[in-house]
C-alpha cells in the first residue's frame, strides 16, 4: 500500500505549474523592473543634457556675466523637489585665445529599486561651452 502511494505521488503533476512559476517569476520581475530603471536613467541623462544646453543658450542670449540667469535657465528644467540634487558649475575658460563660459550640470539620480548595498544611484554630468559675450 505504501509503495502504491509513493508511486502515485512521484507521478503526480499537480502543483508543477506553481513550482515552475515560483522559480521563473523572480527572473521575469527582475527583467521588467531593470528595464524600467534603465528607461528612467536614460530619461534623466537626456534631461541633464537638455538643462545644460538651456544654460548654454542663456549664455548666448544674456551674456556670460549673467550667471543668475544661466543658473535659472538650468534649474527651470527641474521640479522644486529635485533642486537639491542638481549642481551647477559655471567657469570662464579661454580656448585658443577665445573666451568661453563652461557650463557643467550634475544630477544625482536615485534608483527606485535598490539592487544591493552601496548601489543607490548614479551621477549624470553634462558639459557645454558657450562663447562668452558681454
User: Where on the phi/psi map is residue 121: left (φ > 0), alpha (ψ -120 to 50), or beta?
Assistant: left
pLDDT confidence of residue 113: 77
pLDDT confidence of residue 102: 95
pLDDT confidence of residue 43: 92
Q: DSSP assignment of 25-82, as one string?
A: HHHHHHHHHHHHHHHHHHHHHHHHHHHHHHHHHHHHHH-TT-HHHHHHHHHTTS-GGG
Q: How many domains does the chain have?
A: 1
pLDDT confidence of residue 112: 82
pLDDT confidence of residue 90: 94
Q: 3-state DSSP call for residue 133?
A: coil
Q: Which domain holds residue 121?
A: 2-131
Q: Among candidates 54, 59, 61, 60, which has minimal Cα distance to 76?
A: 54
* pLDDT, averaged in runs of 10, over the chain (134 residues): 67 78 92 90 93 93 88 88 87 92 92 76 92 80
Q: Among candidates 33, 45, 37, which has minimal Cα distance to 123?
A: 45
Amino acid at each position: 500500500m505504501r509503495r502504491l502511494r509513493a508511486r502515485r505521488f512521484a507521478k503526480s503533476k499537480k502543483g508543477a505549474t506553481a513550482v515552475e512559476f515560483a522559480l521563473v517569476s523572480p527572473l521575469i520581475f527582475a527583467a521588467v523592473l531593470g528595464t524600467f530603471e534603465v528607461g528612467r536613467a536614460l530619461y534623466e541623462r537626456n534631461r541633464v543634457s537638455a538643462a545644460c544646453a538651456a544654460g548654454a543658450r542663456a549664455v548666448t542670449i544674456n551674456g556670460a556675466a549673467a550667471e543668475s540667469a544661466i543658473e535659472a535657465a538650468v534649474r527651470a528644467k527641474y521640479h522644486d523637489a529635485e533642486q537639491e540634487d542638481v549642481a551647477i558649475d559655471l567657469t570662464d575658460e579661454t580656448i585658443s585665445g577665445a573666451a568661453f563660459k563652461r557650463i557643467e550640470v550634475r544630477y544625482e539620480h536615485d534608483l527606485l529599486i535598490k539592487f544591493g548595498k552601496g548601489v543607490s544611484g548614479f551621477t549624470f554630468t553634462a558639459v557645454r561651452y558657450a562663447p562668452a559675450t558681454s
